[in-house]
Structure 1
């Protein structure tokens, strides 16, 4: 398969725009497909990209091709999907409508989404892709700051399924200055990431930046119990989470319960978090959007229901987030008040 890479970012919000901006800066053709609101913002301000290390760059409005109709991405051959998980199947159908069967044999699709089932859902509507349907994982957080500015607040490497096509995309990403790697066991990686992503819901409920949240041992104890419950349910379900990079899922509950001085020492060697970082679920609640709770903590509940496990902590967390989505719950819990809600004290 020989072609000149032409990227389409489908669902260009915080993550997609951050990744796509690096590809543009590296000289690749990129079309961003997303919302009209962000299109207008970028047409006015361009893009300002920054990260927790202090690195930054800008792209002028005329350097960014941002559209709202997927039909304008038909000239692309690599599709990076960053839409919400609930939109995966519909997006797959939209990709299918763009191409003939022969054309489908020449494109690569990468899922850079939260959750564990997106690649499988894409395969259900795009079975012809085969190994060109690449599961991916995004470990870091990106916050939209307005006026075209996007800030990456945490460390970590993008991960892609290791095969002929995943390896090729990985080389493009790394060559664009993005931290990226490949892994042979993406199913395990995605479940491992989901365990860490359980913190998305906690961060959304407490309504403070990630570093401030994790600096409080009370919140860390809650997260430790959420992850421990998840690990137990995965084990009973015969699922083995895998590590990718420095984040080790099965050690997380132990590390989180360490006294502050020990936790800061150990955690700082595993992940970097700046004061601005927040979870994507917090951002969704803040902007009145539906969250991905059913694709994160909700996946733990699906497994729990299959094996007859009550999963009381994650079940209550899901309920509280759903209340917040409906406007009837709070997003400013203290560690003590949330621990009481969860029956931990």
Structure 2
């Protein structure tokens, strides 16, 4: 059982980790951040600014933050560890958890993808729960000013049931949290929406602008249709985890004319104009993307059940080319998919 005094370690001081951890610290929770050395120095020197779509604007001074690049220190006495690193770093973080975290600490994955909790369990040799973050966080790191994390879309974080007090501990102002029993369905449902991350990255467009363009939505609809076909053969029933529409309706809704889609998807389009995707940010920062955890998961499932996913494979190829080019977003147009 977890209570409000439980020490929380945020394992990965990136956009999601700093936003969620910042909201928790502002609510008076006992939070420690595990950060890379450069991020540790920045947070200590300048602090953390947390804003959101609803208009909140709050600052944590560096002196008020517990942040360390040393996992032994960051994990000390932790009762809950939030894993917020990129999916490709799951095993690396699991090894640190196995080596330095208390044996009875609860581990919760708040990462993109569908299998991170399983991968963490296999390496850390301890239970790990799944979580789903539905919102987009925009990161800005100005010189000599607090690291700025802005939640640019809405939605409640969903966490796997099984640990009493988990949702109550994590649900704070600016970051609502609820427990769900069907997390496998939730994660696959979120994956469908995350297939758009690559299109934002390839186009370089803000998320709202990209979604309002039917030419890009047609490409997203094709990917989702391929994913749903593979999921259906595998017996996976995705939940409506990150939007009001049922997953099976998404391809048809995305293919609607722009004016009709705008009427139907008002909530989906209630997005800060600055919002893009974490994959766009990865390309801009010349870092590996999470394409293998997103489109890659669909391709692996398609192979497993014997279906084709050519549109998804084409998106993967273009993202790989952009990663190798090391020039940021390539700024492609939808015509490239013809």
Do the two structures share a fold, i.e. TM-score over 0.5? yes
Q: Which residue of 2 is the match for residue 97 of structure 1?
A: 99
Q: Kindly tell me the number of residue pairs found equivalent between the two proteins.
A: 330
Change (3 A) 1:127 1:43: closer
Match runs of 1:169-180 below 5 Å: 169-180=166-177
Q: Which of the residues 139, 146, 153 maps onto 1:144?
A: 139
| Structure 1 spans left out of the alignment, 5+ residues | 341-345
Q: Which residue of 1 is the match for residue 233 of structure 2?
A: 236
Retained in 2: the 8 A contact 1:12–1:34?
yes
Retained in 1: the 8 A contact 2:187–2:241?
no
Structure 2 residue 109 is matched with structure 1 residue 107: no
The C-alpha deviation readout for 1:299-322, integer Å capped at 9, x for no partner, is 111111123322100001001100
> CA RMSD of the aligned region, Å?
1.7
Q: Residue 38 of structure 1: SS of its match in structure 2? A: helix
How far the C-alpha of 1:253 sits from its partner, in A, is 1.3
Using structure 1 for the length normalisation, give the TM-score: 0.91
Q: Residue 112 of structure 2: SS of its match in structure 1? A: coil
Q: Residue 293 of structure 1: SS of its match in structure 2? A: coil
Q: Which of the residues 294, 310, 313 maps onto 1:312?
A: 310
Q: Which residue of 2 is the match for residue 200 of structure 1?
A: 197
Q: Which residue of 1 is the match for residue 154 of structure 2?
A: 155
Change (3 A) 1:2 1:34: closer
Distance 2:297 2:30 in 1: 36
| Structure 2 spans left out of the alignment, 5+ residues | none
How far the C-alpha of 1:270 sits from its partner, in A, is 4.4
Higher helix share: 1
Structure 2 residue 3 is matched with structure 1 residue 6: no
How far the C-alpha of 1:176 sits from its partner, in A, is 4.3
Distance 1:215 1:91 in 2: 38
Q: Which residue of 1 is the match for residue 45 of structure 2?
A: 44
Q: Which residue of 2 is the match for residue 281 of structure 1?
A: 279
Retained in 2: the 8 A contact 1:6–1:28?
yes
Q: Which residue of 1 is the match for residue 290 of structure 2?
A: 292
Change (3 A) 1:112 1:2: closer
Q: Which residue of 2 is the match for residue 256 of structure 1?
A: 254
Retained in 1: the 8 A contact 2:286–2:326?
no
Q: Which residue of 1 is the match for residue 185 of structure 2?
A: 188
Q: Which is further off, 264-273 or 10-19?
A: 264-273
Distance 1:339 1:204 in 2: 15
Distance 1:338 1:77 in 2: 49
How far the C-alpha of 1:24 sits from its partner, in A, is 0.6
Using structure 2 for the length normalisation, give the TM-score: 0.93
